[in-house]
Structure 1
Amino acid sequence: MTYSNEKLSEEKVFKDPVHRYVHVRDKLIWELIATKEFQRLRRIRQLGTTYVTFHGAEHSRFNHSLGVYEIIRRMVDDIFVDRPMWDSDERLLCLCAALLHDLGHGPFSHSFEKVFHLDHEDFTQSIILGDTEVNSVLKKVGKDFPKKVAEVIAKTYENKLVVSMISSQIDADRMDYLQRDAYYTGVSYGHFDMERILRVMRPQEDQVVIKSSGMHAVEDYIMSRYQMYWQIYFHPVTRSSEVILTKILHRAKKLHETNFSFETKPVHFYSIFNNQVTVKDYLKLDEAVILYYFQAWQEEKDEILSDLCQRFIDRKLFKYVEFNPSKQMMDLMELTTLFKKAGINPDYYLVVDSSSDLPYDFYRPGEEEERLPIHLLMPNGEIRELSRESEIVDSISGKRRTDHKLYFPEDMINHLSSKSTVKKKIKELLNLE
């Protein structure tokens, strides 16, 4: 028996609040879960700083990765078996790619990536292909097996059907995180009938399609997703904490570049600050490490770094007002000047944040090459794009919603002298009167 076919002596299960149970029978999957690179995902939250807004959102990338694996397991073991377009030889590859698809996420994922110009997918591939425990386990299947797993995650694998199961407009990744994020944030809008969607999925040559009889379940999924982006992922309070987190990292990098003498030296950041980060260095970073520095940096002599870290640790967030870039740029320029006069550094304390810049999207067919539109399989065998059949989906397709907020520390403004004309003008421009 080859390693790829080896099974555990008895099935292992993880109790899961979203899927009830996550089932593992393959020895390969069980060994991958036990690797230190995969266990690190327990120390990285799925939703970054969202726990600051929704206190239940403490779930990890580990939770989510197991969930994506379980959805794919059900597809390949229950739904696709014996379907004419499905190649059962791809089963184990699908399971591994699903389990490992988020392996390269860093602490506070997207904010961290934005500051240091990193890409978690690049790191995922580097971990899979590098000198790691994950790579050693995958190689037991075959010398080129790690490369195949990395290609699925990079969306370059030759079998596009396999890629679409993990990365498309309706994939296992999204189906898990929408339900999981809804569960842990305690909201009702991320729920949809996944059981129904799975039952009507059919493998085609280059992607998974949905039987037209399941269109209403897919509409529900699309609307759930649309609501989750605006109610959870773009929540202005979460964005405030992300703004502060981002500014802490920028400030620490700038101080390092100017040879500032840190009381608590940013040892874990050196290779990132110097744009020489290795996989080994990257894997040492998790949210516990980052929060240790933020905790310690509250005592640093640099007032900006100290203040920003106190704000993040103690949840003293920036306030925000609606901001229209096309109409209020002159106001922003004037505020920048006034902040400087008031001794408040606008580079760190006056921030425009646009939700359209965040790495989430809702259903926009044709706008993303790598995310194929959802296709319906009609009773006569014809394939039709979803928004051509669904008025509900058509009504939100291709419509980009942007949301701009201006963030600032209201407490600092309030502490300015009451006689100050600068204070009066700032409050006027921010509508704080």
Structure 2
Amino acid sequence: MSHILTQKLDEEKVFKDPVHRYVHVYDKLIWDLINTSEFQRLRRIRQLGTSYVTFHGAEHSRFNHSLGVYEVMRRILEKFMTRPAWQEAMPGWSEEDRMLCLCAALLHDVGHGPFSHSFEKVFNTDHEEWTGKILLGETEINQVLKQVSDDFPHKVNEVIAKTYENKLVVSLISSQIDADRMDYLLRDAYYTGVNYGNFDLERILRVMRPHEEYAVIKYSGMHAVEDYIMSRYQMYWQVYFHPVTRSAEVILRKIFKRVKDLYDEGYDFNCQPHLLKGFLEEKMDLKDYLRLDESTILYYFQMWVEEGDSILADLCDRFINRRLFKYVEFNPSIHMRLYSELEQLFRQAGVNPDYYLEFESSSDLPYDYYRPGEEGERLPIHLLMPGGELRELSRASHIVQAVSGKAQTDHKIYFAQDLLEEREQAGCRDVVAKIRQALRDAEKSGAR
């Protein structure tokens, strides 16, 4: 066994945390990972992307969250590995397994980029792939992990990618009740100032038990898990899918799309997007990726407000100064052809629908039971019954059963209402009137 696995700091390091009160670091390996440049970069990437335009407190970073996930994992392992009766359910567990859990918890989001999900959709990239490249590439993180063994970075990557052979290790960081979700629900609720995401973490940690390939919940703790499931449900619809946040995301994607279109056309930018060149040419390397953070992107947006291209300048001004798109509800199953009609009408009015009109959907599945073989297969939450048998959560809880396996989707059409008003004043009254009627029809379909 490598010495670094058991090497402790001379003095415990503590981060004061508003959610967990304290984040405790005892292991030198964890402290070394926190101090790498790749992990420190997460301080400059917001956890909730554009949610700060809706909830002004949502300025917390992926650095905050990653430390929080580590702390939840540390507390889970502290209980699992110090109680002899529970260790029987963890045969063969070693100090390396413990450190794998802690490293995966700390590093699971290290591949996120600026405004990651919007950025990924336009440039066809994936933060999970970048996480793997950071763990396995020529990085400080890779060098720290290799202090354990040459293959330890691969093992950490496998845990995060959910392919590691020890399924209990994987489930603690990625399942329907894991360290990641438990931290982000509490943390995001705290920073957005809402009550929806709050649940009794202490109670869940007390009733969580190791069981072969996954953790289970003692039956007496079922109501705490019900609260957790409903908290997740409420946070998605009240915070993560908030329509104003989504409006900002739409504009963000339109900016990236406009930059890509202009670059492909050979446009001569006044402020050249040098740090985005790799993505624009679809050959970004790891070194260039790690130079990107949200301060970099916002700098470009500030500069492009004065760009010669009127569409790019306008979109950047909208994002910087919160001049967002309006929206209406929309049911595509009722009005299948309406969106294409709106595109044509926008063009007739002289408003480019490629940048000022967007159909956007958000969907979530609060909880799912086991459906083997299905894409996105989810491991269900099991309750440990008084007799020792296991029961899947939705079979014991009427509350969870009500939301189990039922994906909810919300469709909206986003558009630049102020541009329509300008075109109306410029003499395009008839076509703008048709657009307004089409939008009213869309809203009626969405209300059904």
Q: TM-score, normalised by structure 2?
A: 0.94
Q: Distance in 1 between matches of 2:263 and 2:434?
A: 35
Alignment of 1:32-431 (within 5 A): 32-81=33-82, 82=84, 83=86, 84-86=88-90, 87-89=93-95, 90-356=97-363, 361-366=365-370, 369-418=376-425, 419=427, 420-431=429-440
Residue 384 of structure 1 deviates from its aligned partner by 1.1
Do 2:199 and 2:224's aligned partners in 1 also have CA atoms closer than 8 Å? yes
Residue 335 of structure 1 deviates from its aligned partner by 1.6
SS at match of 1:325: coil
Aligned-partner residue type, residue 427 of structure 1: R
Residue 32 of structure 1 deviates from its aligned partner by 0.4
Alpha-carbon displacement from aligned partner over 1:84-108 (angstroms, at most 9, x marks no partner):
1232431111111100000000100
Residue 417 of structure 1 deviates from its aligned partner by 3.4
Q: Distance in 2 between matches of 1:128 and 1:325?
A: 42
Aligned-partner residue type, residue 79 of structure 2: D
Q: Can you give the 5+ residue segments of structure 1 that lack an aligned partner in the other structure? A: none
Sort the Cα spacing of 1:65 and 1:232 in 2 relative to 1 into closer, same or farther, 3 A: same
Q: Which moved more, 1:140-149 or 1:415-424?
A: 415-424
Alpha-carbon displacement from aligned partner over 1:66-123 (angstroms, at most 9, x marks no partner):
0000000001123442321232431111111100000000100111111111111111
Do 1:45 and 1:108's aligned partners in 2 also have CA atoms closer than 8 Å? yes
Aligned-partner residue type, residue 365 of structure 1: Y
Do 1:80 and 1:202's aligned partners in 2 also have CA atoms closer than 8 Å? no
Do 2:160 and 2:170's aligned partners in 1 also have CA atoms closer than 8 Å? yes
Q: Which moved more, 1:252-261 or 1:320-329?
A: 320-329
Aligned-partner residue type, residue 14 of structure 1: F
Alpha-carbon displacement from aligned partner over 1:335-377 (angstroms, at most 9, x marks no partner):
2111101110011111010012xxx642122366553111111
Q: Distance in 2 between matches of 1:48 and 1:361?
A: 21
Do 2:350 and 2:423's aligned partners in 1 also have CA atoms closer than 8 Å? no
Residue 259 of structure 1 deviates from its aligned partner by 0.4
SS at match of 1:242: helix
Aligned-partner residue type, residue 89 of structure 2: M
Do 1:229 and 1:361's aligned partners in 2 also have CA atoms closer than 8 Å? no
Do 1:319 and 1:407's aligned partners in 2 also have CA atoms closer than 8 Å? yes
Q: Once superposed, which parts of structure 1, at least 4 consecutive aligned residues long, lie more than 6 Å away?
A: none
Do 1:104 and 1:127's aligned partners in 2 also have CA atoms closer than 8 Å? yes
Do 2:365 and 2:408's aligned partners in 1 also have CA atoms closer than 8 Å? no
Aligned-partner residue type, residue 430 of structure 1: L
SS at match of 1:11: strand
Do 2:185 and 2:198's aligned partners in 1 also have CA atoms closer than 8 Å? yes
Q: Distance in 1 between matches of 2:280 and 2:214?
A: 41
Q: Distance in 1 between matches of 2:333 and 2:153?
A: 48
SS at match of 2:222: helix
Do 1:79 and 1:199's aligned partners in 2 also have CA atoms closer than 8 Å? no
Q: TM-score, normalised by structure 1?
A: 0.97
Q: Distance in 1 between matches of 2:227 and 2:81?
A: 23
Q: Distance in 2 between matches of 1:26 and 1:326?
A: 55
SS at match of 1:353: strand
> Does 2:36 match 1:17?
no
Partner residue in 2 for 1:29: 30
Q: Distance in 2 between matches of 1:105 and 1:361?
A: 23
How many percent identity over aligned positions? 66
Do 2:339 and 2:359's aligned partners in 1 also have CA atoms closer than 8 Å? no
Alpha-carbon displacement from aligned partner over 1:367-420 (angstroms, at most 9, x marks no partner):
665531111111111111100111100001111211100000111111123452
SS at match of 1:8: strand
Aligned-partner residue type, residue 27 of structure 1: K
Sort the Cα spacing of 1:361 and 1:47 in 2 relative to 1 into closer, same or farther, 3 A: farther
SS at match of 1:403: strand
Q: Distance in 1 between matches of 2:424 and 2:327?
A: 22
Q: Distance in 1 between matches of 2:424 and 2:202?
A: 61
SS at match of 1:329: coil
Sort the Cα spacing of 1:223 and 1:297 in 2 relative to 1 into closer, same or farther, 3 A: same
Q: Distance in 1 between matches of 2:295 and 2:376?
A: 36
Alpha-carbon displacement from aligned partner over 1:47-71 (angstroms, at most 9, x marks no partner):
0000000000000000000000000
SS at match of 1:202: strand
Partner residue in 1 for 2:9: 8
Alpha-carbon displacement from aligned partner over 1:290-334 (angstroms, at most 9, x marks no partner):
111111111111111111001000000000001111122333222
Sort the Cα spacing of 1:351 and 1:369 in 2 relative to 1 into closer, same or farther, 3 A: closer
Q: Can you give the 5+ residue segments of structure 2 that lack an aligned partner in the other structure? A: 444-448
SS at match of 2:16: strand
Do 1:319 and 1:410's aligned partners in 2 also have CA atoms closer than 8 Å? yes
Q: Distance in 1 between matches of 2:145 and 2:399?
A: 43
Number of residue equivalences: 430
Residue 257 of structure 1 deviates from its aligned partner by 0.5
